[in-house]
Amino acid sequence: MNEMPMFNDPVNPPHLMSHYVDIESIPWEATNLPGSERKVLFHDPRTGMMTCLFRMAPGGVIPLHEHPELEQTYVLEGRLVDGEGEVTAGNFVWRPGGSRHIARCPDGAVFIAFFMKFSQRL
């Protein structure tokens, strides 16, 4: 007989329970940039921490902006290009707080970005 193993996971109180996100059920929302949409997966208004799934149309540009704190991006499809280099599908880039750049998506892109605090446009 093939039975599932028993797990003795601890039971967390409600404020410490995991939050499972059904990404397919979240609608894409337009951003203030042409050809850019996002799904907010996590946002803590107290700290400004945010995780978003972005979808950019071919030729999309994220104008000059500054990352006030650490920003991390994992590219799922397409590529992001800036003056320092390029990150392609399946690859990752992180930028320290205080860094500035213009991000371009020549072929379009889908990426997940993790912000300690959301970027500020300059």
**Domain presence at residue 67:** yes
Q: Which residue has the tokens 């797990």?
A: 7
Rounded Cα gap, residues 96 and 92, in angstroms: 14
Q: How many CB atoms lie within 10 A of CB 87?
A: 20
The answer to the question of residue 22 being in a domain is no
Domain membership of residue 9 (yes or no) is no
Is 10 a domain residue?
no
Torsion-angle region of residue 25: left (phi > 0), alpha (psi -120 to 50) or beta?
A: alpha
Cβ atoms of 121 and 92 within 8 Å: the answer is: no
Give a yes or no: residue 93 inside a domain: yes
Which pLDDT score is estimated for 6? 66
Tell me the per-residue pLDDT of 29-77, one tens digit each, with 9 for 90 and over.
Answer: 999 999 999 999 999 999 999 999 999 999 999 999 999 999 999 999 9
Q: What is the mean pLDDT of residues 96-119?
A: 93
Q: Is residue 61 situated within a structural domain?
A: yes
In a domain, 8, yes or no: no
CATH code for position 47:
2.60.120.10
Structure tokens at 20: 């499972």
Q: What is the model's pLDDT at position 76? A: 98
pLDDT at 2 over 60: no
Tell me the residue range of the domain where 95 lies: 37-116
Q: Does 14 reside within a domain?
A: no
Q: Are 23 and 52 in contact (CB under 8 A)?
A: no
The mean pLDDT value for 80-89 works out to 97
What total of structural domains would you count in the chain? 1
User: Residue 3: what pLDDT?
Assistant: 62
